[in-house]
Amino acid sequence: MLADLPIAVIGAGAMGEAIIGGLLRNELVAADQILASHPREERRRDLAQRYHIRTTHDNLEAAKWGRVVIFAVKPQQLRRVLPPLRGAIRDEDLVISVIAGATIASFAEALDHPAVVRSMPNTPAQIGCGMTVWTAAPAVTERQRGWAATVLGALGRELYVDTETYLDMATAINGTGPAYVFLMMEAMIDAGVHLGLSRRIAEELVQQTMLGSVQYAMQSGMHPAQLRNAVTSPGGTSAAALSELERGGLRTVLADAIWAAYRRSVELGRQG
């Protein structure tokens, strides 16, 4: 699907590197098909040595070179990055954004280019276990959608949705979701240490328990409430623990956090 297709990554930070690594790890492209831009020479040198790809400090060079041009800069940098690239991308080329809150319209208008894919990956993409939700502008052809699905699939699982408003919702769930999980992991590990476990043992217990629980949930196909009930014996330890979580308002706090992330994603889009 991507054979001999030049791919430019503008903003080769953590997520940009995840895309580069995923494409190469899955042998979807050759190293000489990738050109990555980054302002810092040290970062460019590191990427070139690690992946044997071409690098540049010039975003315009990257935009003109790629048939697929991937934007992975910080949301706050878009107003500075996009205007100098207006008109640089050919009509037959594809733009892919992995930037939280950045709308398709903001890219299409700033670049004067209608073929834009908007996506929301998450940090597990860095090890090929990400979850990416994406959508495409009407101008994106079926062939270009295939390019997008292949590129984003290199990060883990990809899910196409036909409504852009879902992207802000996805940002609050899969995009920001790892932060919720990491915070819960941290709290559980600290509680284990407080009980008297060594930090090493507490970390191993929490990590494997979370990993196994997710894998079990995915394979069982059961509703989470059914799974929770199955480990909650009357008057048992799980019942006691869950009572405290409900008393503390875990569900409400988590829902409020997700709504806050959603509102912030919408706000970032308006700022762009």
Pick out the residues of the known binding site: 10-15, 59, 72-75
- C-alpha distances (whole Å) from 45 to each of 12, 14, 40, 53 are 12, 15, 9, 10
Distance CA 216, CA 235 (A): 24
**Which residues are annotated as part of the binding site for NADPH?**
59
Phi-psi region of 52 (alpha: psi -120 to 50; beta: other; left: phi over 0): left
**Which residues are annotated as part of the binding site for NADP(+)?**
10-15, 72-75
Residue 172 tokens, joined: 């609050």
The one-letter amino acid at 170: A
Residue 187 tokens, joined: 């709290």
Distance CA 29, CA 39 (A): 24
Q: φ, ψ for residue 36 (rounded to 5)? A: -115, 135
